[in-house]
């Protein structure tokens, strides 16, 4: 199913199931998909690779300006050190400014599904469909722990780090994590990926149906 220039903005905290859901919605509607968290991860990776400090705004801004498509395909963007550094660079205005045009351009021509923290509030506030995907902290920590295939004793550390990152993402002055006023919240705590997809699809179809001049 392909819907012309449909833009679906998906925001929410870490490990809430945004990525899996966004990929499935993109495939269903034949839309390109952008995981915007990868942009911040790639900036963080570049800073760390150059021996820089993620809190150094100039180093992070240089890394953001130099970002290439290959940086996004690296297989070392989902590590604990990048988790921490990405949250730090994501709080910096020059980094966010450098990445904004790319994200808007990505959605402009043929529509897209984007997931992140500020897609519905800052990047694409005009998106017709906005989902805020969340889940209980313990469920999200367990998902992240499984994804990383971490040792049993790592669950407590992962839970604490996730809480810290969420607090950082939500408390920052610029583009904080929060639902857009017109976002529909989907809590995936008790949903497996298929149930989350079906719930999200029903929301999207209801919104597009309600907006269609033919309905
Ligand atoms: O979704 P993620 O865990 O891959 O995101 C990595 C970091 O980037 C996380 O700290 C939140 C931040 N981020 C952001 O500030 N804005 C976005 N649109 C996407 C991610």
Which residue, 103, 126, 121, is CA-closest to 33? Answer: 103
Evaluate whether residue 66 is within a structural domain: yes
Evaluate whether residue 214 is within a structural domain: no
Closest residue by Cα to atom 20, ligand 1, is: 37
pLDDT of residue 212: 61
pLDDT of residue 209: 87
Host domain of residue 84:
37-109
Could you give the number of structural domains in the chain? 2
pLDDT of 214 strictly over 70: no
Asked if 122 and 182 sit in the same domain, the reply is yes
Asked if 124 and 182 sit in the same domain, the reply is yes
Asked if 95 and 193 sit in the same domain, the reply is no
Asked if 180 and 157 sit in the same domain, the reply is yes
- Among 58, 84, 109, the domain-final residue is 109
Asked if 132 and 204 sit in the same domain, the reply is yes
> CATH number for the domain including 190?
3.40.50.300
Residue pair 120/11 in contact (Cβ under 8 Å)? The answer is yes
User: Mean pLDDT across the stretch 85-101?
Assistant: 95
Give residue 6 CA to ligand 1 midpoint distance, Å: 23
114 Rama sector, left if φ>0, alpha if ψ -120 to 50, beta otherwise:
beta
36 close to ligand 1 (CB < 6 Angstrom): yes
- Whether the pTM exceeds 0.85: the reply is yes
The pLDDT mean for the chain works out to 93
Give residue 4 CA to ligand 1 midpoint distance, Å: 27
pLDDT of 18 strictly over 90: yes
Share of the chain above pLDDT 90, in %: 86
Asked if 145 and 195 sit in the same domain, the reply is yes
Q: Write the CA distances from 209 to 31, 121, 203, 215, integer angstroms.
A: 18, 23, 10, 6
pLDDT of residue 215: 43
Asked if 152 and 116 sit in the same domain, the reply is yes
Task: Compute the distance between CA of residue 120 and CA of residue 20 in angstroms, rounded to an integer.
Answer: 18
pLDDT of residue 33: 97
pLDDT of residue 13: 94
- Among 109, 141, 173, the domain-final residue is 109
Asked if 28 and 119 sit in the same domain, the reply is yes
pLDDT of residue 109: 81
117 close to ligand 1 (CB < 6 Angstrom): yes
pLDDT of 190 strictly over 60: yes
pLDDT of 122 strictly over 90: yes
pLDDT of 36 strictly over 60: yes
Give residue 1 CA to ligand 1 midpoint distance, Å: 29
User: Which range among 2-11, 115-124, 172-181, 192-201 shows the weakest confidence by mean pLDDT?
Assistant: 2-11
Closest residue by Cα to atom 4, ligand 1, is: 37
Q: Which two tokens stand for residue 66?
A: 């130099």
Q: Indicate which atom in ligand 1 lies nearest the CA of residue 40.
A: 8
pLDDT of 133 strictly over 70: yes
pLDDT of 38 strictly over 90: yes
Closest residue by Cα to atom 18, ligand 1, is: 116
pLDDT of 68 strictly over 90: yes
Asked if 2 and 13 sit in the same domain, the reply is yes
Asked if 134 and 177 sit in the same domain, the reply is yes
Give residue 58 CA to ligand 1 midpoint distance, Å: 19
pLDDT of residue 40: 97
Give residue 29 CA to ligand 1 midpoint distance, Å: 24
**Cα first-last separation, the chain:** 17
Asked if 135 and 49 sit in the same domain, the reply is no
Share of the chain above pLDDT 70, in %: 96
87 close to ligand 1 (CB < 6 Angstrom): yes
pLDDT of residue 2: 52
Asked if 123 and 197 sit in the same domain, the reply is yes
């Amino acid at each position: 199913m392909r819907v012309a220039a449909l833009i679906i903005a998906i925001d929410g905290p870490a490990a809430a199931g945004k990525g899996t859901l966004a990929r499935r919605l993109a495939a269903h509607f034949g839309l390109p998909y952008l995981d915007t968290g990868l942009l911040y991860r790639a900036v963080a990776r570049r800073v760390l690779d150059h021996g820089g400090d993620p809190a150094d705004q100039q180093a992070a801004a240089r890394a953001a300006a130099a970002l290439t498509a290959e940086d996004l395909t690296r297989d070392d963007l989902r590590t604990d050190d990048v988790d921490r550094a990405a949250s730090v660079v994501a709080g910096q205005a020059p980094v966010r400014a450098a990445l904004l045009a790319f994200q808007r351009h990505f959605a402009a021509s043929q529509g897209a599904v984007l997931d992140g923290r500020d897609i519905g509030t800052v990047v694409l506030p005009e998106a017709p469909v906005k989902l805020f995907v969340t889940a209980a902290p313990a469920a999200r920590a367990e998902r992240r722990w499984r994804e990383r295939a971490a040792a049993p004793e790592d669950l407590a550390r992962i839970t604490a780090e996730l809480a810290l990152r969420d607090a950082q993402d939500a408390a920052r002055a610029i583009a904080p994590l929060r639902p857009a006023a017109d976002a529909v919240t989907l809590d995936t705590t008790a949903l497996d990926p298929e149930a989350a997809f079906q719930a999200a699809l029903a929301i999207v179809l209801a919104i597009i149906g309600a907006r269609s001049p033919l309905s």
